[in-house]
Amino acid sequence: MAKTVTAAGNEAPSFYDLDPHEHPAGHSTLLGFWLYLMSDCLIFAMLFASWGVYGAAYAGGPTPKDLFDLKLVAVNTAMLLFSSLTYGFAMISGQEGKQRAMLAWLGATGLFGAAFLAIELYEFSHLLHEGAGPQRSAFLSSFFTLVGTHGLHVTFGLVWLVVLMVQVARRGMEPANMRRLQCLSLFWHFLDVIWIGVFTFVYLLGVLR
């Protein structure tokens, strides 16, 4: 509780504070991004719940055993895991003030992410060619929705990554750029965790079901 001075020179209690408060640079940015990630968690939770309900509704059509190539999915998973590893090296290089090394690691992250998307698009194309599109059964509808939503997030992440690389190359490792890279780091590792769930519950348990 602050105090104010009256016209008579006496101090009177006041229930508001006139002194300015400190607002650390980037504090609201990180808080807002954490809130966004929580909302994204809810979206993927609903998609996983839908898979849990419809994942075995084959409607007399192909099953996961008939469609999924676990070796190909394992390679795809490795691409995303490697991309998280290289992003971690990029952030370490940034903390050490090594801009060129950081950009190189970010470039490697983008290449691994692009490889992940390319394999995923190949898988979707193969399934559609086999007549196993999302309209074939509830199982395939939930599969395409869940995996496709994750792939769309990876696509947005890659666009964001390229934009940040251009900004760092032009303006250097200024605090604003480092905060944005930190937010993208949270987003990228979040997608990695979600994909581990997809690989485990959709692909592995789907084939074993």
- 91 falls within a domain: yes
Domain that holds residue 106: 26-208
Does the CA dihedral 141-116-126-62 come out positive or negative?
negative
- 120 falls within a domain: yes
CATH code of the domain covering residue 106:
1.20.120.80
10 to 2, 15, 20: CA distances (angstroms) = 14, 16, 23
- pLDDT per residue, tens digit, the chain (209 aa), is 544 545 555 555 555 555 555 655 555 777 889 999 999 999 999 999 999 999 999 999 999 999 999 999 999 999 999 999 999 999 999 999 999 999 999 999 999 999 999 999 999 999 999 999 999 999 999 999 999 999 999 999 999 999 999 999 999 999 999 999 999 999 999 999 999 999 999 999 999 87
- 168 falls within a domain: yes
- 4 falls within a domain: no
Alpha-carbon gap, residue 148 to 127, rounded angstroms: 13
The pLDDT of residue 9:
53
- 3 falls within a domain: no
Based on the number of CB atoms within 10 Å of its own CB, is 56 exposed (0-12), middle (13-18) or buried (19 or more)?
middle
The pLDDT of residue 11:
53
The pLDDT of residue 208:
87
The pLDDT of residue 163:
97
- 9 falls within a domain: no
- 109 falls within a domain: yes
- 184 falls within a domain: yes
Q: Give the count of domains, the chain.
A: 1
**pTM, to two decimals:** 0.85
C-alpha distance across the termini of the chain, in Å: 63
